[in-house]
Structure 1
Amino acid sequence: MDLDTTRSADPRLGVVHRVGTGLLGLVLAGFGATSLFVRLPLFDTRGEVVAGLTTNGALGFLSVAIGSLLLCATVVGGTYSSTVSTLVGAGFIASGLVNLFLMDTAHNILAFSMPNVLFSLVVGIALLTVGMYGRFTGGLPEDNPYRRHRERRRRLRAPAGAAR
């Protein structure tokens, strides 16, 4: 059976990637912008509370940068949005776990507190979910771009003379 290449892939896939990535990007960019408008010290380890989370100038700048990256991925869409969401989500989970151990030390340069750790883990899980939607399952429809990519790789790896 040949795939119809003139028809676009499942439109729900792109909508989930774009909407999820865009909403989380807006939240992060908004939090970072609010932090930067307060003009907090750059690497203050205690920070100030903004929107229920402790922050400093470095965390504000980092939030704006990552939020902007997610918004750019929203505009591009497709597999780029999915990949960026997955990678940034994994980064958020790693950041939450690392900052959990750095909270009460002098190395807490992002002024993390327990609400920040929980926020980081929740956003990481949400981004991973959005990024992996439609990628990692066995029942993908035939027009799913990830299924087509897997089948193409499987055919290339198959030994010569093997049944397809």
Structure 2
Amino acid sequence: MATVTHNQTRRGRRVVLDDHLPVDHRLRRVYRGGAGLMGAFLVVFGVLGLIDRIGFFSTSGSMVMGLGSNGALSVASVLVGGLLLAGAVIGGNTASTVNIIVAVAFLAAGFASLAVLDSRFNVFAFHLQNVVFSFVTGLLLMTFGMYGRVSGSLPHDNPYWQSRHPRS
């Protein structure tokens, strides 16, 4: 597969891909490990919830691994866990980006579920433990995704610092 650089053009327009993001072999273990661990946990949680045959949109749900669950949450957990595992398999910047995006989704889900806790709109049968789990998982995934990528004091040999400060 040929890559397009900044100097090549196609039909007179400059084509720029994500080649400004460095691929750092030392940090990919953090991105992949975080995505893999969290993805595996979510898949196991979702499969156990599906095996339990809980009502799909039951607002009371059932307890699975200490967390409230229903069929919808189980399916969502398997899908999101699969996405994280796919990011872990691909690795590199993809794993980092997937971690960050899923982290934001978990934090948003935590706030949304906190708003509908103990109401008929609680379609994922969340309990307070689920809210705390969403926040903790979101923060962990954010840490895994941004590790070595975002900081005010990155060392000068860090590839992300180098990509932001090209030598002229």
TM range (shorter): 0.7 to 0.9
The CA deviation at 1:43 is 0.3
CA contact (8 A) 2:154 2:161 kept: no
1:136 matched residue in structure 2:
150
* TM-score (normalizing by structure 2): 0.81
The CA deviation at 1:126 is 0.3
Q: Distance in 1 between matches of 2:23 and 2:119?
A: 49
SS at match of 1:11: coil
CA offset digits 1:28-69 (Å, max 9, x no partner): 111001001111111000100111111000000000000000
The CA deviation at 1:141 is 4.1
The CA deviation at 1:24 is 0.5
Q: Distance in 1 between matches of 2:155 and 2:100?
A: 19
* 1:55 aligned partner, one-letter code: S
Equivalent of residue 51 in structure 2, options 17, 31, 37: 37
* TM-score (normalizing by structure 1): 0.83
The CA deviation at 1:20 is 1.0
* 2:35 aligned partner, one-letter code: T
Ranges in structure 1 where 5+ consecutive residues have no aligned partner: 1-7, 156-163
1:4 matched residue in structure 2:
none
* 2:157 aligned partner, one-letter code: E
1:107 to 2:107 alignment: no
Ranges in structure 2 where 5+ consecutive residues have no aligned partner: 1-21
CA contact (8 A) 1:17 1:74 kept: yes
The CA deviation at 1:9 is 5.3
Over 3 Å counting, the alpha-carbon distance change for 1:71 and 1:141 in structure 2 is farther
2:133 matched residue in structure 1:
119
Alignment of 1:41-60 (within 5 A): 41-60=55-74
Q: Distance in 1 between matches of 2:91 and 2:131?
A: 28
CA contact (8 A) 2:96 2:145 kept: yes
The CA deviation at 1:10 is 4.2
1:11 to 2:25 alignment: yes
Sequence identity (%): 42
CA contact (8 A) 1:9 1:143 kept: no
Q: How many aligned positions are there?
A: 146
SS at match of 1:20: helix
The CA deviation at 1:101 is 1.1
Q: Name the structure with the higher helix share.
A: 1
CA contact (8 A) 1:45 1:108 kept: yes
CA contact (8 A) 1:43 1:58 kept: yes
CA contact (8 A) 1:85 1:127 kept: yes
2:105 matched residue in structure 1:
91
